[in-house]
A and B are shown apart, each in its own frame.
Chain A
Amino acid sequence: MMTTDSVLDWSSPLADGEIVRDDRVAPRASWSAVVPAGHVLTIVDVGGNQSADCLIFDAADPAERYSVPDTITWQGNVYVRTGTVLRSNLGSPLMTVVGNEIDRQDTIGGACSKESNTLRYGHHTAFHHACRENFLLEGAKHGLGARDLVSNLNWFMNVPVEADGSLGIVDGMSAPGKRVALRAEREVLVVVSNCPQMNNPCNAFDCTPLRMIVTAPSARTVEAAQTAEAVEAVEATA
């Protein structure tokens, strides 16, 4: 389904620091990496309105994992924006959104699967690619299986909830080169499926690549954060 006339913008990291990982994820492919505490993962929407379906696990104990309801409940909002803390099923912070170049990110639409595609589009789509397949294969590299797949984030997807509860994936608000940046609050395993289902019109049926960049905070960034913390502490006691 990929066309060759796509505008591609590979962009750059959204956070300062040394680049310790820089991967290009082909259309329809999966990706995973362990991101150490304090490192920042920048996801680049290279072709625009791509969907980076994403699951996050505690690297040391994957039974603790990203939880849509905990993330929604703690912030009282269904959308993810700069400042959103992505919480685990224990209510604990896994990652924090420290940069975001689109209006809002989706956390309620979940992933496509071969099985749900038969419901959405018909049984003739049973052999189309799907995010759940990517999650299962990529998760298997880390000892994860079907039990570990829960509702996920969708970076760059637009899922409005209308006043009457109508909900669905509609045209995206992203563009080539748009980015989101996530700071790991502990060592996390991030698993991504680069696929909006091919029947999903969100990016005109044109599946494009993603760029995944992990940066280690520079000494200067760490120092600045520590200074800010110290200033806050002084202000709090003043």
Chain B
Amino acid sequence: MDTVFAARQDARAQDGGIAEAMPYLPAASSPFVPDGVPAEALTWAEAVAPGGYTHRVVARGTRIRLDDPTGEACAHLFLLRADAPHERLNVADTVKIPWQAYLGAGHPLLSGDGRVLATIAVDTSTRHDAFCGTSSDAWNTAKYGDARAESPTPSGQSLLTLAAAKHGLTWRDLGPGISLFQGVQVEADGAVSWRGSAGAGAAVELVAELPLIVLIADVPHPLDPRAQYVVGPLRVHAWRSTPTGPGDPAFTSSPERTRAYLNTIDDVEARG
């Protein structure tokens, strides 16, 4: 490879390669197009590596489907408003306002500004966590001996920091996030126990109620009791759809949620 010509030949010969984890472009070329979704409607299709991360800016009304094909995925999710990133996921409001700590279908993911960032529209897992956040470098170093993003046992913190940086954000912009596909249960005395996953094939669909920066790290849940770093691949597909409106059951499912959607629509309308 002692000439540019040879190096170029070699690089170009790799075109068309297939990896287990990769984005599919155009998205319609995904081998895993969700049932009932026209392939040409897809705006994002990707298989995220175990121990990997992804990030995307999506329009209001985008429907984002996350699939856990092996039962070992754990999607550590953080959301910021794309057109005003100081508005971001607020986990305390997300559990306090709906009076419910366990996330499931219909649950609004709230910002700290009284609006809905996204709604969980579909959930066949019901094993999620809004308490423990993602793994810190200190946690993974203590548990696995290493936490660096390039190591075999990256922390969620290191990956979400990278994902945030790709949008000009620092970890000051990150707050507590949620984990999908690996659940916890809180006992009467406050003890948090790991429930693990619902098994292979679970899916979650989110509706973006505002334009969003979506940050996802696919790393083991911090309370996963296994000594080995066990995490499976995560599939992401997104397509154009409609935000939650007054005709949707989620809109009227509780007075708190109705006001949250009203606040969201009011703000979107004002911005034009």
Contacts and interface: CB of A to CB of B under 8 A. Distances in A.
Interface of A: 63, 67-70, 72-74, 76-79, 89-92, 104, 108-111, 113-116, 118-120, 122-123, 132, 145-152, 161, 163-169
B268 interface: no
25 contacts: A63-B171, A68-B91, A68-B133, A69-B177, A70-B136, A73-B133, A73-B223, A76-B223, A77-B189, A78-B192, A90-B136, A90-B138, A91-B136, A108-B92, A109-B92, A113-B114, A115-B113, A115-B263, A116-B93, A119-B93, A119-B256, A120-B97, A147-B86, A161-B186, A167-B95
Q: How many of chain B's residues touch chain A, expressed as a range?
A: 35 or more
Contacts, number: 141
Nearest to B135: A73
Interface string B83-97: 000100011110111
Contacts of A110: 90-93, 96
Given A91-B138, A119-B263, A161-B101, A77 B190 contact: yes
A91 B86 CA distance: 23
A67 B191 contact: no
A78 B259 contact: no
Contact of B96 (A89, A90, A149, A167): A167
A171 B79 CA distance: 32
B114 A67 contact: no
A70 B100 CA distance: 21
Contact of A63 (B113, B172, B259): B172
Given A79-B190, A148-B172, A161-B186, A167 B138 contact: no
Most buried by A among B133, B139, B223: B133
Contacts of A150: 175-176
B134 interface: yes
A114 B131 CA distance: 24
A148 B173 CA distance: 8
Majority-rule SS of A interface residues: loop
Given A63-B171, A72-B131, A108-B131, 5 more contacts: A73-B222, A78-B131, A115-B115, A147-B86, A150-B176
Interface in B91-118: 91-93, 95-97, 99-102, 110, 112-115
B115 to A, nearest CB: 8
A91 B171 CA distance: 14
B114 A116 contact: yes
A76 to B, nearest CB: 5
